[in-house]
A = this chain, B = another copy of it.
């Protein structure tokens, strides 16, 4: 599934009659609009000519300072000098890849991995090598093997890209022990780690885990974002990088945009000053937990036997695997016809896997819609299973071109 296919899908899925379990849009309706509106008015009145002017390529110093406070919640001790503000953390992925990679270089990614990062890596003609996950996240031995196999093939590994917390799309979290193991493997093998952490503060049941960056500061670039803890429309994320890399990122940022949006940065800085942002995150966590519960409850109640899913303890996503023979990509048009949308698992792999799984998002629709969406989806899957039972296989049925050579779903595929 290409980026434009996903866009086309989203266009259909955004129709009001469709329950979209596809998108990753945060639900920001709970933000204190009166506080934000008044703060922005005041920002313009008292400091408008600065807020609306060009800023530095590295980003606003006062915001970078506050970003170090936020990262401290995950055990990171860092200096504001090593923070580079980006146009969402998506741009950080882009700039890091631009700085490090030449065509043909290898990036090791979880299987599955974030579709937006895979798109960046492919756009720079990098080769992606997937490493398996299980319920505890990325498997250290899989990383070790991926590195060994790539090196044995004479290829250059540029970094390991990982989302340790509340993985997109897999919903799992990398255990504390494995964080240390994977850091140790990468240190030994001389592989840089790109730790992408947009959801780390959105755990449901406990305090944030220590970031991988909290354990090691040299061979790692950490990416953060305000998109899920405040709002994505300002497009403010950041990279925390070793000094040698940071300077290159700043130059790349200047080349790409001159500077990240100054107004956005001052708006967020003002929000952090004037609003109870930690209280707001608590509210987000409760709201998302309620939705997670709605989705997992509905899946348990309604999905036919043979489907399985994980129960995420934070973030936005459930990863569901189908009974053997169901192809989530070819089933999607049927689902949209029944007014429910999801993202087929194939979007999150570059090696053809994933057709036996799907990503379900519970972040945006309210609980009753989530339940209704799952009810519709269960119907679609049931009809698909009926057909498989009737015909033995769906192959050869017009409009249902399930390829026999597609890999069966494993744990998280």
Residues of A within 8 A of B (CB): 3-4, 7, 25-26, 28-29, 31, 33-34, 36-38, 40-45, 48-49, 51-55, 57, 87-88, 90-91, 94, 98, 116, 119-120, 123, 227, 231-235, 247, 251-252, 254-264, 266-267
Contact = CB atoms under 8 A, between A and B. Distances in A.
A3 to B, nearest CB: 6
A207 B234 CA distance: 35
Ranked 6 nearest A-B pairs via Cβ? A37-B44, A52-B231, A52-B233, A233-B262, A41-B41, A37-B41
A52 B40 contact: no
Nearest to A99: B123
Contact of A7 (B57, B261, B263): B57
Chain A interface SS verdict (over half): helix
A49 B32 CA distance: 10
A31 B50 CA distance: 12
Contacts of A94: 255-257
A37 B40 contact: yes
Given A116-B258, A251-B3, A232 B41 contact: no
Contacts of A267: 263
A43 B263 CA distance: 15
A232 B38 contact: no
A56 to B, nearest CB: 8
Given A123-B252, A261-B261, 10 more contacts: A3-B254, A4-B247, A28-B49, A36-B44, A87-B261, A119-B254, A120-B255, A233-B261, A233-B262, A235-B261
